[in-house]
Structure 1
């Protein structure tokens, strides 16, 4: 058995020392702000007894939807097609693999920042043939300054809390030892629809224009948390 030398590295004392007591605190922030963007999902469908006819109808309706969305110009920040399918439906009765009809669909996602335009666009889309609209999903942009504001507020709250503990002991903070971001931001809500809207038109559009939907943006909640450790000057106990 050997005795460690004085030059061997010693483990850090997790709770500080009498000459440098430590304070461990958590800083938290919660901001409630208006959303910056809204996403809607659009599903265009077609069906028919002939594959080519179903495909032609789907192509025509898809073009109609894309042209409508693009007609709103800069109000639409992002537009993408997420999936396409054309599926045969077999007859329930009879022998063999006889196709009864074909079903086709195209899935489109649109992202808008102009919420006034959003209500009008969703109404016009829902008024089209075999077109379904889902959403809107309200969110903040990934690079929104709100995320930074929440993190900074959480740090300030941690410092203030540590100072209050030190003052309760009749002393002051000496130094920051550690600041850890524990990743507690939940600003985005893409996974769950907010104020979900679902509409499908199975026939031709009405002759009279439908009044635009009145959509109220849902406030977004941004959370941030940090763990902080400080040393303080030895208190007189």
Structure 2
């Protein structure tokens, strides 16, 4: 016997099959599963910058000393320009030998290749809360001795209120879709059974470049977009 009374649209059986969340055999409840999405945008108010100093030379000790001095000068310049110490964090330090890989160097079997010198790298993450000073800060860092900027990531510091509005919109989107399926199958939308969400940035400003100039750096923060996706499962009633 058909599980739907006579006169119900044939579409009902199709809509309630597999992909639309028909309950398992051990669960008599009919249900529909849908996804809902919403986006919200805001101007970024914080930037995360990775500033680096790279030094090369013949003697490892001398290169480390030179790199340490240059990195110290960069940090001192940033602090003098108003960057709080808690917004500065060392994130990388490396000493790398520069191997001579020429054919002559590798000609003798069993002889290790010669080392031409060493490269020392030190990187510092900077959190900047005043984006109007971003170009100035980059200029100060380069002037003080930084020779690479590996990335600038813009973000919105207070996302909670923005995401709460998006959560409501995403849930309403899911409920609207579920109600559409319920109506199309001749049933009524029942109570919510399951709900899960995922959030995250959708796009946003990411700037990558080598900072090798003493001129002021023009940087645009653009707009950050935050997204919320929800997966919802509703009962279907007679």
Query: What TM-score do you get using the length of structure 2 for normalisation?
Result: 0.69
Match of 1:3 in 2: none
Matches within 5 A, 1:32-47: 32-47=41-56
Higher helix share: 2
Match of 2:210 in 1: 198
Unaligned runs of 5+ in 1: 1-9, 17-21
CA–CA distance in 2 between the matches of 1:218 and 1:26? 29
Match of 1:227 in 2: 231
Matched, 1:139 2:155: yes
- Calculate the aligned-residue CA RMSD, in Å: 3.4
CA–CA distance in 2 between the matches of 1:140 and 1:188? 12
Match of 2:65 in 1: 56
Give deviations 1:108-152, integer Å, cap 9, x for gaps.
111212111111111222334462112211223486433333223
Match of 1:187 in 2: 201
Q: What's the CA shift for 1:62?
A: 0.9
Give deviations 1:180-236, integer Å, cap 9, x for gaps.
33x2x231779xx723232236xxxx6xxx3x32211132222222222333553xx
Aligned counterpart in structure 1 of residue 217 of structure 2, from 202, 210, 213: 213
Query: What TM-score do you get using the length of structure 1 for normalisation?
Result: 0.70
Distance 1:88 1:175, change over 3 A: closer
Match of 2:3 in 1: none
Match of 2:93 in 1: 84
Q: What's the CA shift for 1:165?
A: 5.2
Matched, 1:106 2:118: no
Matched, 1:11 2:4: no
Conserved 8 A contact 2:149-2:211: yes
Unaligned runs of 5+ in 2: 1-24, 106-110
Give deviations 1:12-33, integer Å, cap 9, x for gaps.
035x2xxxxx444322112222
Give the total of aligned pairs: 207
Q: What's the CA shift for 1:74?
A: 5.4
Distance 1:100 1:165, change over 3 A: closer
Conserved 8 A contact 1:133-1:198: yes
Q: What's the CA shift for 1:78?
A: 2.4
Matches within 5 A, 1:121-200: 121-129=137-145, 131-141=147-157, 144-163=160-179, 173-181=189-197, 183=198, 185-187=199-201, 194-200=206-212
Match of 2:37 in 1: 28
